[in-house]
Structure formats: structure tokens, C-alpha cells
Structure 1
Amino acid sequence: MSSLQHKIDFALVLRVTNANPNGDPLNGNRPRTSYDSIGEITDVCLKRKLRDRLQENLAKGSIFVQSDDRRDDGCRSLAERARSGLGDKLGGTETIKLACEKWFDVRAFGQLFAIKAGKKAKSKAENAEEPEGDTGISIGIRGPVTLQSAFSLEPVEVTSTQITKSVSGEGDGSKRGPDTMGMKHRVDHGIYVSFGSMNPQLAVRTGFSDQDAEIIKTILPKLLENDASSARPEGSMEVLKIIWWQHPSKSGVCSSAKVHRSLSVDRDGKVTVTKIDGLAEEIISGF
């Protein structure tokens, strides 16, 4: 199968209503915002959702970075999954090729394989004994698909609500424990936009193909399905639009930055795209 033949840029437009789209654990799990109150959903968070949707739609074992509560191969760590999937090829010259063939997310986003090995062998030279220590391998794979963090178009308002429990989590139940109070935070309303690109030159190295790009295109409108939680109730977050630009060649007709600037989104989520000569765009509604 040939690698990606056309440069691709894309954009993701999301609406958040009374939900916490991406809590910050270093700030009491409040929704992530900048100093000027612009809301943020990190690229790591978006990739996690994309991997989960891919895992639901692809064959078992096709995703390398799996959530603990969604793992489908019995491996309890990335190191275990790498050893299981790569076997004695781990650290060999065929590691990158084998990893990219086996795992879709490695082929798309790349991956750093940093795995411990055994103890260092002691030097046999007289009076030159080295201390024991961990050794291992570190193999970096650079993927062709990049995804930016999503930022709100306008400053968002964060509402914090104090919550209590009506039952005690421990003891004999005669009195409430110290864990009966808490806080929940939410963004009242926000339109978020994220941009991404697919690079044909890097796709050659991993084997990322036109068919792989089509899979991501199909999954993006469903990015927020099966992702509900207490912080993100069903219906509180939705994909409004996916804008997909396909260039006529591997090098593209212009930079990704210029393509991304051609998109305009208003506060209600309405999308307007300024036409760029030689570039075809497709606007896809959310699922």
C-alpha cells in the first residue's frame, strides 16, 4: 500500500454547554483556561478521544496507547504491549516498520519507545568494575498527523458548584466523613476550534496511507460519542463541523498556516471558508 499522496489540513469545531471539556488536575480539575480566560482542550486530550474512537472501529489490538479501562489485549503497560507486539524485534532495525504496520496510532501520530532492559554487565577488567544500573532502548518515531490544542473563540465563564454527599463513604454511617464536600466546575458555553495536518513526507516513513487518512476523516465527526462522564454529560459537548482541505499534491498549494487562517467561525459556530485557488475543501457536519 502506497503512502499518503496528498497533503491534508483539517479543522475541528466543537460546542461546549455546561460541561468541563478538559479539567486541569493541578488546578482543582477546573476547566483549562489561559490568563485571559480563553478555554483550552489540549491536543493530548483530543488524541485520547480520537484513539478511543479508533479503537472502537478498528480491529482488536490496532491501537498502541490504550486507556487502562479500554485495553483489549490484556497488556497492563506500554512496555508489555511493545514486547508482546514486537517480540524479539524490539530494538532491532525492523522495529519502526513492524510497529507502524501493527498499530494505527503509531503510524499516524508517531511514538517514543523507551523501555528498560536488564542490569548492566559488570566490567571484567581489573579495578574497572562499573556500577550496576538500568539499560534499555529509546526509539523515536515521528508521525505525519499533527493535532493542535482546541481554543475557545471568546473568553469562557467557569461556574463552580459546591457538592455534598448524603451518605458516608466509610465508618459505621453514624456521622459524615471528611469527604462529603467537593467542587464541580463547568464551562457555561464555548465554541472551540482545533486544527490539524497530515504530512506526506513523514507519511513515507511510517506507511500512513490515503486509506488511513480516510479513516480519521470518518472518525472525527464521531469524536465525542461514547465519551460521556459526570463532568461531560451526554449532549453537553458536540462536534459541529469538520473542515477538510485536500491539496492536489504532496507539497501542497500553500502553508498549513494560510489554510487555517482561511477558516472563520462565529460565536454560534457558523463556519465560513475563504476559497484558496487550487485547494478543495469539504465541510462535514458532526455526527
Structure 2
Amino acid sequence: MSLTNRYDFVLLFDVKDGNPNGDPDAGNLPRLDAETGHGLVTDVALKRKVRNFVAMTRDQAERDPQPGEKRFEIYVREKAILNRQNQRAYSALKLDAESPEPAPDEAAEKKPAKEKPAKEKKRKGGGDDVNKARDWMCQNFFDVRTFGAVMSIGVNCGQVRGPVQITFARSVDPIIAQEHSITRMAVATEAEAEKQGGDNRTMGRKHTVPYGLYVAHGFVSSFLARQTGFSDADLELLWQALSQMFDHDRSAARGEMATRGLYVFKHESELGNAPAHTLFERIQVVRKADVPRSFADYEVAVNEAELPSGVALLRMV
């Protein structure tokens, strides 16, 4: 069933002695705002965790689906070749991925052929076939109908604007990125072992945040949901993923991460009954300790008094 309500949500999560989102352009240091020192986690990183959760929890159900029931595949997977994913839509629908070229007229035949500039070259697929392929991709891939995707390069499945959007997460307070030396009691090659005289040690570096509490905002549009087929069941799966995604994404690099709060504002109107920013301001996080090192060092104040007419607050965590 298609959505008939607008949703805005606030996601609180924390990290202890880990790196929530390293920056590969900065030696994998935790991302931060250079002016304020607040920590950042990109929307891409959060969506990756949602994708991984859906792939993990829906994998068994998708192994032997009934016809038309395969709805929870993930389009942007590790090591995926996206044009191969796009080609599946044309193969399943028995469409020709090659866009037909118009027949040249007599005048054009007399002129020497000129190669089109690269940006004007035709993509594979066109017209109604693209629309059919786009609908097929939305139906079969959870992340396409949720977050949207650009699928118009190569095998053309069009572009999808997703109904669910998530902002960068920002830490409540400035963070400190600590750097640690680590030792591996092994080497990769015999040449390294001979060079060390059998000591066989490899030195490395590791970056962590002692503690950080992060806040991200999200939005769900029912109008865009109708265009992609994002349903009430998909929305419930999204809430579940946001609530539990860190529990199944453990690694030595990320330390202890957990969702600490998921506050959802449900609007009766599809257009919305109040501006999102005024609702987000009702969730206030106050530091209780000078140097916070746990979630207990913060207090989350939720102002539920006199909510705007037509808005309900749902606590998922």
C-alpha cells in the first residue's frame, strides 16, 4: 500500500572508541567540521548500513521467491557493476537495450558522417522502454525505490528520485580524533621476514573517537513514494534498519556504535502539518558532564507538549 503521510525523523546514534566514518582523503581520520570540530558521518555511510541490514535480513526470503515477490535486492552492492544490474531489467522485460537509430535522409547520406561529441552519443535504451525498465528496477531493488538512483549511464534505466532522504549526521559536541600505533605479529612476504631477521612485526596506525553522540535528520515524501512504489511495509523495514543496523555492523575499526533514539514525526497531511525544522527543534540533547564518555553523560529532552495539529510523535527506539 502506498504511503499517505509525510514523515520527518531524528536519528541519534553514538560511537565509543571507534571511527564511525573515516575520510579516505585524510588518512582515514574521522570526518569533522574543520571550523567547529564537530564530527560528521555522511548520508552515504548511513545508507550503506541500511542497505547492508536489508540485504542481510531479506537474503533468505529472496533465495527462492515466488514470481513477482523479489522486492528486496540491493542495487548498490559491494563490487557491483551497475550496468549489469540495469541490463537485468531489459532482459527480464524482453526489451531491446539498444536504442534504434533513425533512418538517414537523402541529404544526410550525401554528407560525410561526423562523429557526435561524446556527451551527445546515444545511451542504450530509450522512450517507453526506459520507463518500463525504471519501474522494474524500483519494484525489485529496495534501495532504488527508497533512496533513488541515477541509472541513465550505459544501459539506460532512467533516474529515480527517492522518497527517503537523510542528512549528514553531526556530533552534539566537538570530537577529538585519537591516533594509535598498532602492531601485527606477522609480515606479508618472506622478503620482509628476512629483512627483520625473523622478528616478523608490521606497524600500523588506527584512529578512534573516544566518544561522540551524533544526530541526523531524515525525510519521507509520500508523493515520491507513489512514484517509486515505496510502501508501508518498506517504511517499517526502514525503521527496523535504522534501529538495529549498528548491531549487525560490528568491526574493530568502529568500536561500539548504537542507535540511541529514533523519533518519527508523522503528519496527517501528505504536504505536512508543520515545517520539519520546527519539529526537529523539539528534540534537544543536553550535555551533563564536562567530558562526556558515554550516553549517560547526556540527557535527551523531548518536547511533546502542544504538538502542531495533525502531527504525532512516534518513538521507535
Question: Separation in 1 of the partners of 2:56 and 2:177?
Answer: 32
CA distance 1:205–1:269, shift in 2 (3 Å): farther
Whether 2:12 is the aligned partner of 1:13: answer yes
Q: Secondary structure at the match of 1:238?
A: strand
Change (3 A) 1:180 1:213: same
Q: Kindly tell me: are residues 269 and 57 of structure 1, through their superposed partners in 2, closer, same or farther at Cα, counting changes over 3 Å? A: farther
Bigger-Rg structure (1/2): 2
Query: Distance between the aligned counterparts of 1:97 and 1:138, measured in 2?
Result: 9
Residue 33, structure 1, aligned to residue 32, structure 2: yes
| Unaligned 5+ runs, structure 1 | 69-75, 117-135
Which structure: greater helix fraction?
A: 2
TM-score (norm 2): 0.75
The farther-off stretch of 159-168 and 175-184 is 175-184
User: Which of these residues, 72, 75, 82, is aligned with residue 78 of structure 1?
Assistant: 82
For 1:197 and 1:269, locate their aligned partners in 2 and report how far apart those are by CA, in whole Å.
25
CA distance in 2, matches of 1:223, 1:86: 33
Counterpart residue number, 2:232: 210
**Residues 145-184 of structure 1 deviation map (CA, whole Å, 9 limit, x = unaligned):** 0011111000001110122333221125223499933210
User: Aligned letter for 1:78?
Assistant: L
Q: 1:10 Cα deviation (Å)? A: 1.1
Among residues 189, 211, 228, which one is paired with 1:170 in the alignment?
A: 189
Q: CA deviation at 1:64?
A: 1.3
The one-letter code matched in structure 1 to 2:17 is N
Contact 2:187/2:200 (CA < 8 Å) preserved in 1? no
Question: Who is 2:137 aligned against?
Answer: 99
Q: C-alpha distance in 1, partners of 2:42/2:216?
A: 9
Q: CA RMSD in A?
A: 2.1
Code of the residue aligned with 2:45 in structure 1: it is C
Distance 1:86 1:105, change over 3 A: farther
Offset at residue 214 of structure 1 (A): 1.6
The Cα offsets for residues 118-142 of structure 1, whole Å up to 9 and x where unpaired, read as xxxxxxxxxxxxxxxxxx5372110
Counterparts of 2:157 and 2:136 in 1: how far apart (Å)?
A: 16
Q: Partner residue of 1:131?
A: none
- Higher strand fraction (1 or 2): 1
Cα deviation digits, residues 202-244 of structure 1 (max 9, x gap): 11211112222122112211020221122023xx111111111
Q: Distance in 2 between matches of 1:147 and 1:198?
A: 9
Q: In structure 2, what residue type is equivalent to 1:203? A: A
Which shifted more, 104-113 or 254-263? Answer: 254-263
Instruction: Find the counterpart in structure 2 of residue 284 from structure 1.
Output: 316
